[in-house]
Amino acid sequence: MNRALAGVESVLELIGGTPLVRLTSIERRAGSGAEVWAKCEFANPGGSVKDRAAAQMIKDALEDGRLGAGKTLIDATSGNTGVAYSMIGAALGIPVTLVMPENVSLARKQITRAYGAEIVFSSPMEGSDGAILLARRLVAEAPDRYFYSDQYANEANPKAHYLGTGQEIIDVLGDRLSHFVAGLGTCGTVMGTGRRLKEHRADIQVVAVEPDDALHGLEGLKHLPSSPVPAIWRPEGIVDRRLPMPTEEAWDLAEALVAEEGLFVGHSAGAAVAGALSIAREAGPKACVVTILPDRGDRYFGPQKWERPYVW
């Protein structure tokens, strides 16, 4: 269904059902005859793939009573999940507190505040891991006040992609699909989507892209060898390969997507597409590779401050 022609009762009904776009310029670069497709997760109403996981985590917590009765949702986030929590919290009347590294993009800080979320900043030197530690401390100090969503350990995170992302890819590409490539952040997208694709056909190859170094410039992605491993990362039987990605290569591909495809996406999308390009080159003419575009590039800009008294 074309959602532009459908009537919905809430912005939450606009989450998921994102389109797939064929990346013909990437296919030309690969030169192998493989198909390369990308799922446009920036088309979610909160602007990123994280809308899916946030919606599922909140839905499940409301249903089983962990969230409600005036509790505040709290979690550590580098930005996109925070935007998703904030949007959904505003729609449902749920208070949201976000713990973010102080150096996340200005756009993400201002968007979450526009939705009414409270932000607590952690040390920029400690990255997302420092935000997690601070969130846990706040919850330990006031357990009755908070519902700690804990996206890195919450099974509803991969569940969202098992029920949604994976099935949507199957519905479009069916048995043509041979490879799925996605970046590693919380690991929810790879784990949930990969599990659903493997159930559809066990020989589909699932490739996880991660930064090639602990000191990298790919916001939202984790270098697992140097980071606390998310509890939902259980790759056995799901992930066939981990592909290290240099920051420069990912940034170059993000710029190429703007110039050659008209897709202005973030650097984590650049990393995923660079991984898909590498796989397409190897896999040959019968391959059909799909990857994820997690968010738009303008999420990394510093926008005009959101305020009522405009000054021109």
Distance separating alpha carbons of residues 290 and 294, to the nearest angstrom:
13
All residues at 6 or more sequence positions from 89 whose CB lies less than 8 Å from its CB, including other chains: 58, 73, 95, 96, 115, 116, 117
On whether the CB atoms of residues 119 and 90 are closer than 8 A, the answer is: no
Choosing from 39, 50, 198, 222, the catalytic residue is 50
Distance separating alpha carbons of residues 228 and 245, to the nearest angstrom:
19
286 catalytic per annotation: no
Distance separating alpha carbons of residues 106 and 292, to the nearest angstrom:
24
Give DSSP secondary structure letters for 27-62.
Answer: HHHH-S--EEEEEEGGGSTTSBTHHHHHHHHHHHHH
Distance separating alpha carbons of residues 182 and 293, to the nearest angstrom:
9
On whether the CB atoms of residues 161 and 44 are closer than 8 A, the answer is: no
Q: 5: part of which helix (H) or strand (E)?
A: none
DSSP label at residue 164: I
Residue numbers annotated as active site:
50
